[in-house]
Amino acid sequence: MKQEEWLYEIKPKTALIRLNFQEIWRYRDLLILFVKRDIITVYKQTILGPLWYLIQPLFTSVIFTLVFNGFGNIDTGGVNPFLFNLAGITIWNYFRDCLNGTSNTFVQNAGIFGKVYFPRVIVPMSVTVSNVFKLGIQVLIFVVFYIYFAFKGGAGSPNEALVLFPVYVVVMALIGLGAGMIISSATTKYRDLTVLVGFGVQLLMYISAVPYSLQEIQASDKEWVQKALPIIEWNPLTQVIEGFRYMTIGVGSFDMGMLVYTCGIGVVVFLLGLIVFNRTERSFIDTV
């Protein structure tokens, strides 16, 4: 009797770090389907719909401008404060959306995970890819305001470091995806973390130089600011936000050594997230 040949064979996952690109490519149609779902359903049944892509960064930039630059007198290096804040918020929002979108992967998708086999990592990957679309819209908004302030004055000037923009996006994606997979794995046992994630992300934003520049902190003579300075300086997200401001509006800081450090942190966080995610997917269905 001729032995039947199987198209696919599902094997036990024993490797510590396992990211099967061949299998992910085989399920690329599912990945694209999830990306379309994430883009279409985010603001479905809302009154303003996709306009929220515009409203969120603009509203946050206005608030930051009033609070930090209006009341707090934080210097923006000659660049219009609104444009300064919009630059930081644009790249920060990509990280925030990747982290929030992937940090509840197991709990939100427990139903489909328990019924059908496919590479589980496709779900958090689809969130990261779909957020690139949102980032593209917000970068377009930033460009429109940059052109406006370029004519009005106070826009700064981009420089040759702009070619590194894709590198910064990849670093943000790696850190957001890796941290999100770690949190998602932890929330299968400790649901309290889902409540703390929102608070933690807000706190992280304030130590990532989003509403102020790193130079402003370094120049401060306040004791508590100087104590917090090492945390802010070595925060990889600070380096990405400072680098994005430097390449687009000419304020901020750029250091190739710190960029290499930031890329290394991004890779380490992603690999840690992948290890924890792979271990959790074997048994999470018993605890969710």
Q: Is the pLDDT of residue 39 over 90?
A: no
Top mean pLDDT of 17-26, 52-61, 116-125, 266-275 is at 266-275
Instruction: Compute the C-alpha angle 104/182/93, nearest 5°.
Output: 65
pLDDT category at 16 given cuts 50, 70, 90 is low
User: Would you say residue 216 lies in a domain?
Assistant: yes
Give the model's pLDDT for residue 191.
78
User: Would you say residue 26 lies in a domain?
Assistant: no
Higher pLDDT, 200 or 23: 200
User: Would you say residue 19 lies in a domain?
Assistant: no
CA atoms of 123 and 118, how far apart (whole Å): 10
CA atoms of 96 and 208, how far apart (whole Å): 12
User: Would you say residue 260 lies in a domain?
Assistant: yes
User: Would you say residue 88 lies in a domain?
Assistant: yes
CA atoms of 142 and 132, how far apart (whole Å): 15
pLDDT in tens, 48-81: 667 777 888 899 999 999 999 888 888 888 899 9
pLDDT in tens, 137-190: 899 999 999 999 998 888 888 888 999 999 999 999 999 999 999 998 888 888
Mean of the per-residue pLDDT values for the chain?
A: 87
Instruction: Compute the C-alpha angle 182/186/188, nearest 5°.
Output: 125
| Long-range CB contact pairs, 11-16, < 8 A, 24+ | 13/278, 13/281, 13/282, 15/278, 16/275, 16/278
CA atoms of 78 and 84, how far apart (whole Å): 9
pLDDT in tens, 179-212: 999 998 888 888 778 778 888 998 999 999 999 9
Give the model's pLDDT for residue 231.
92
User: Would you say residue 207 lies in a domain?
Assistant: yes
Residue with tokens 């399920």: 27
Total domain count, the chain: 1
Query: Is residue 53 within 8 Å of 138, Cβ to Cβ?
Result: yes
Give the model's pLDDT for residue 96.
93
Q: Is the pLDDT of residue 288 over 70?
A: no
Query: Is residue 193 within 8 Å of 183, Cβ to Cβ?
Result: yes
**Segment 125-134 mean pLDDT:** 92
User: Would you say residue 163 lies in a domain?
Assistant: yes
User: Would you say residue 152 lies in a domain?
Assistant: yes
Give the model's pLDDT for residue 157.
86
Range of the domain at 194: 46-286
Nearest to 270 by CA among 131, 170, 132: 170
